[in-house]
Amino acid sequence: MTCLKHTASLLGIISMLGATAASAQMTEIGAGEGELSIVAWAGYVERGETDPAFDWVTKFEAATGCMVSVKTANTSDEMVALMNEGGFDLVTASGDASLRLIAGGRVQPINVDLIPSWGTVDDRLKSAGWHTVDGVHYGVPYMWGPNVLMYNTEVFPEAPTSWNVVFEEQTLPDGQSNKGRVQAYDGPIHVADAAQYLMFHKPELGITSPYELNEEQYAAALELLRGQRTIVSRYWHDAFIQIDDFTNEGVVASGSWPFQVNLLKAAGVPVASTIPQEGATGWADTTMLHVDSEHPNCAYMWFEHQLSSNLQADLSVWFGANPSVPAACTDGRGMQTAEGCTANGLDDFDKIRFWTTPVADCSQGDDTCIPYYRWVSDYVGVIGGR
């Protein structure tokens, strides 16, 4: 795991790297090397093994000769660790990993001129700060969405209006306590969920961004998380284990992804999801190319493939998230529809506080913020009951 163990601004480090970025870009695509390895979130790179209707790998392999292997990662820290180890070509990195990968020199700049469909990418994503530094792109947008509150509809006849059902001990609508029946995310970025909750309930703390916390704000977030520890049955990071927990282990509420919600609904499990009054954090994921990739030509072929509107549409339906190509919602080439994209939150982009890497230099004010390495060590302590 790569953490910044100093107080220098992460963006400042990245800016220094940007000076040689242009020269490091590929200038042309050659013949495919026959292989392509991808580190991806669960459900992101499907070949029909989970559901035959969702397969965007088989045709790519047939068309390019690039045989795809996928390593599923359950957290952003795991993705960073795997990319640091090397041996992979691509990673579908969220915003709390992408800047660390750039700063660590683990990914290379992308020549968007070599990606014919680049112009179809959502304008809100093309130059997003989690993959673009000094005008240089370090990835190709893939998918985005919110972290939702998933709940059992038999326990909650009506959608919970607050995240308090997973943060504070209480009696649920079925008359039983939530203690031992809720989950929380097994990753330091969950500190941001606590901070967002406090933004709404304790405005006197003055939190303006859940990723930029001074000592007082950070201490309050940790205190909330320590209280949450007493009611949590599991800190989840494996989507399929969470699915099993909601199916067989009596878990009734948790922060989750639309992916789990969709699979559970398809299996007939009584669940639904909502974004409560406090709002939601979220993820905007970018496919990034390892600096030492052994199969860069296949990787650029995948960049173009991932932007095809039929893949984007089907992935959007499968994961319950939003495509990086808006046309995927309306052109009818895939399974998604305009109504489906609206239901997935396409119009809520400005309401989501997307994952990003916390750094010491706050973007506003004179305070020094708590950098990510503190989040890592302190969250381990929270989970361990310290």
pLDDT in tens, 100-158: 999 999 999 999 999 999 999 999 999 998 999 999 999 999 999 999 999 999 999 99
User: What pLDDT sits at residue 344?
Assistant: 87
115, 140 contact by CB (below 8 A): yes
- State pTM to two decimals: 0.84
pLDDT category of residue 365 using cuts at 50, 70 and 90: low
Using CA atoms, how far apart are residues 178 and 377, in angstroms rounded to an integer?
Answer: 27
Question: Which residue spans within the chain are E strands per DSSP?
Answer: 35-40, 67-72, 90-93, 132-133, 136-137, 140-146, 148-152, 182-185, 232-236, 253-256, 271-274, 280-289, 322-323, 352-354
**Is the pLDDT assigned to residue 386 strictly greater than 90?**
no
Confidence of residue 350 (pLDDT cuts 50, 70, 90): confident
Whether residue 206 contacts residue 363, with contact meaning beta carbons closer than 8 Å, is answered with: no
8 Å CB contact between 95 and 41: no
| Predicted pLDDT at 153 | 98
pLDDT at 9 > cutoff 80: no
* pLDDT for res 20: 40
At residue 23 the predicted structure's pLDDT band, cuts being 50, 70 and 90, is very low
Distance of alpha carbon 311 from alpha carbon 304, whole angstroms: 11
- CATH homologous superfamily of 147-281+357-383 equals Periplasmic binding protein-like II (3.40.190.10)
pLDDT in tens, 53-80: 999 999 999 999 999 999 999 999 999 9
Cβ(278)–Cβ(196) below 8 Å: yes
Q: Rounded mean pLDDT of 215-241?
A: 96
pLDDT given at position 120: 97
Average of pLDDT values for 186-207? Answer: 96
**DSSP code, position 366:** S
Asked whether 133 and 313 are in contact (CB, 8 A), the reply is no
Please list the residue range(s) of the chain that carry CATH number 3.40.190.10. Answer: 10-145+282-350, 147-281+357-383
Between the alpha carbon of residue 247 and those of residues 17, 163, 268, the distances in Å are 47, 21, 9
Whole-number pLDDT of residue 364: 65
Strand partners, 361: 368
Q: What is the mean pLDDT of the chain?
A: 91
Residue 18 confidence (pLDDT) above 70: no
Amino acid 366: pLDDT: 63
Residue pLDDT, tens place only, 77-111 = 999 999 999 999 999 999 999 999 999 999 999 99
Kindly list the distances between the CA atom of residue 130 and the CA atoms of 15, 28, 118, 155, 157, in Å, as whole numbers in the listed order: 13, 25, 17, 38, 38
- CATH code, residues 10-145+282-350: 3.40.190.10
Q: Which of 37-41, 343-347, 370-374 has the lowest mean pLDDT?
A: 343-347
Higher pLDDT, 92 or 18: 92
Arithmetic mean of pLDDT, 41-45: 93
**Spatial separation of the C-alpha atoms in residues 281 and 221, rounded to whole Å:** 15
Using the predicted structure, report yes or no on whether residue 273 has a pLDDT greater than 90. yes
